[in-house]
Chains A and B, each alone.
Chain A
Amino acid sequence: MQVYVCAKHVPDTAANIKIKGENDYDTTGLKFVVNPYDEYGLEEAVRLVEKAGKGEVVIVTVGPAQAANTMRSALAMGAARGILVKSDDKFLDSRTAARALKAAIEKDGSPDMIFTGKTSVDTEGSQTPYRVAREFDFPVANEISALEIQDGKATAEREIGGGAREVLEMSTPCVIGATKGLNEPRYPKFPDIMKAKKKEIKEFELADLGIDAPASDGAPVKLEPVPERSGAKIMQGGSVRESVEELVKTLKDSKVL
């Protein structure tokens, strides 16, 4: 069972994003992590190999040289080794990223399954699973919160709104975009972290894989903070009822209700 996990190096979701210039952000002192949705994919991949009793999980990342540190934490979660395709473009377009992921995987081995997350928490493009699948001509299912793989067939569930779920069926190998609910990613123990330091991370440049840098710059034209509200108008009133009545009146007067 040869399983590949495409994982992105992204700013920690709890971190503040300091905007630099018109369309960039400052990475000085910014904590980076494995994209949280990719971790659900990684956990599923590790469990799959553990269950099969043979094979390995390989982490594949397209990102800057510093992404190797982020990959160590994925290796501590049970991946055997990593492949880093180096690119300093913070807003690398997803088509180029998918081609680079495909080329890196193909150079390494023959995938029985490919996992990733439903979206990345930095650029929120939500399309890498589809593009990687297209590159391999594999079936794909995204936003998956339950998965079963048996006899060359994958059965996957995704929420389609209001708590209703769709059950999708496809052949393997396929690409699965994971979301919360699929599993509870393990918390690496100290020996796992130590072992991960010695695991292999192969590095490539885009050009080594025959990938052209994108023709146009994927960076946004402008990046700006979402304005915060200045603070609540607190409903005053002697009683709960008076406060509630004032609120309803305010909402009605401003045509919100």
Chain B
Amino acid sequence: MPKTGVLIETENGGVKAINYGLLTAAMGNKENEVIAFITQNDAAEAKDDLAAYGVSKVVQLKVGSGDINSSPDLCARALAAAVEEFELDHIAGLATAPGRDIFGRLGAILDVPLVSDIQSIDYGAETAVKSHFSGKTMATVKLEGSPVVFTVRPNAVDPVENPVDAETAEFNADVADGPKVTVKEVKASQQDKMELTEAPVIITGGRPIGAPDNYKMLDECAEVLGAAVGASRASVDAGFAPHSMQVGQTGKTVSPNLYIACGVSGAVQHFAGMKTSKVIVAINNDKDAPIFEKCDYGIIGDMFEVVPVLTEVLKASEEK
């Protein structure tokens, strides 16, 4: 049975929910043995959560000297060593900020192709599907190299439970030199915000939001929805929101179950960043806004009237 290694992302002592779709992609049609690598948490504590999604071995990944979490370089080198130690046929991670950085380094170290940000994979056909031209086209690309290295777009693959028995192990990678790059500091966000690319629901405000403070209205709705709050490029360029909130061509690419666009006209560049959302809802007071041509559900109305009512109705329906 081919072996697929997966780098797990953790947060506040637990396995992040977005890993489960990655594990489902890693397992394929139950055709691969999945080995999970964990660097931040205790492998034993994560074991049961990971075994529920088909992981048969959870490996605590360490480096001989130094802290593996102090440098993306060290982590990539340790993974490269793990590929050899565990004879992996595939090695996969999430296309998140840390995942993109570690797997970019890993592809270069192993000197094999890296297929980034895939949305689905077919081990039989040895192909994966990913975006080309900023979401305008989908490309079916060949999986080449030994091992096959890829990252999976968060939320793109629906997680499927597949409980198995798992064991734990430890692997101390021998990485001779010190890291070339070190993390000197992590500056926390001013507000404790959910990361857009990982959120299952997103509510976005366009330029008509008019002022940074008005995003509070969306924050309130987001809280009820368990959503992250996004912004359009026009709103970011007008100084109403930071670039970290921007969805679209020069911002973030997202794939949530539900995307609610408020006061967004629907430019091609915005759609490039969110068209793979499962359901798109538009709220706009211009009935001729292009976004209504390209979404699933629409409400014609001023977002300053519609959003507070939406928050209220959602709250009421939750209390029922």
Contacts and interface: CB of A to CB of B under 8 A. Distances in A.
B181 A168 contact: yes
A220 B139 contact: yes
Interface string A10-33: 010110110100010100000000
A241 B185 contact: no
Interface string B83-112: 000000000000011101100110111010
Given A121-B249, A226-B138, A240-B301, A161 B195 contact: yes
B180 A139 contact: yes
Interface stretch (B28-36, B48-56, B113-121): B113-121
Contact of A130 (B104, B190, B198, B249): B104
A190 B183 CA distance: 43
A153 B70 CA distance: 18
Interface in B279-320: 279-282, 291-301, 305-306, 309-310, 313-314, 317
Nearest to A250: B297
A233 interface: yes
Interface of A: 11, 13-14, 16-17, 19, 23, 25, 36, 93-95, 98, 121-127, 129-131, 133-134, 138-143, 145, 155, 157-171, 180-181, 216, 220-226, 228-229, 231-235, 240-241, 243-245, 247-248, 250-252, 254, 256-257
Contacts, number: 235
Interface stretch (B59-67, B140-148, B206-214): B140-148
B116 A158 contact: no
B295 A229 contact: yes
A229 B97 contact: no
B189 to A, nearest CB: 3
26 contacts: A125-B114, A129-B104, A133-B108, A161-B97, A161-B195, A163-B189, A164-B187, A164-B188, A165-B187, A167-B186, A169-B181, A220-B139, A221-B141, A222-B139, A226-B275, A231-B293, A232-B295, A234-B297, A234-B298, A240-B309, A243-B299, A243-B301, A243-B306, A244-B309, A247-B281, A256-B257
Contact of B182 (A17, A168, A225): A168
Nearest to A217: B142
Contact of B113 (A93, A143, A229, A245): A93
A166 B186 CA distance: 4
Given A164-B186, A167-B186, 4 more contacts: A25-B133, A127-B116, A166-B183, A170-B182
B181 A127 contact: no
Given A163-B242, A167-B185, A221-B127, A126 B117 contact: yes
A222 B142 CA distance: 10
Sorted nearest first, the 9 A-B pairs with minimum C-beta distance are A163-B189, A232-B298, A161-B195, A139-B180, A220-B139, A134-B108, A130-B104, A222-B140, A130-B108
B197 interface: yes
Contacts of A254: 279
A216 B144 contact: yes
B39 interface: no
B276 interface: yes
A17 B133 contact: yes
A252 to B, nearest CB: 7
Contacts of A170: 180-182
Given A168-B182, A216-B144, A229-B294, A248 B310 contact: yes
A23 B142 CA distance: 12
Interface residues of B, number: 90
Contact of A125 (B116, B258, B281, B301): B116
A166 B131 CA distance: 27
Nearest to A135: B108
Given A161-B97, A235-B298, A180 B243 contact: yes
Nearest to B101: A142
Contact of A134 (B109, B131, B317): B109
B244 A163 contact: yes
A161 B96 contact: yes
Contact of A167 (B73, B187, B257, B291): B187
B137 interface: yes
A247 to B, nearest CB: 6
B173 interface: no
B22 interface: no
Given A127-B116, A250-B297, A143 B96 contact: no
Contact of A168 (B131, B132, B184, B192): B184
A220 B212 CA distance: 43
A180 B183 CA distance: 21
A226 B137 contact: yes
Contact of B134 (A13, A25, A145, A244): A13
A13 B97 CA distance: 23
Interface centre among B136, B257, B306 (most CB of A within 10 A): B136
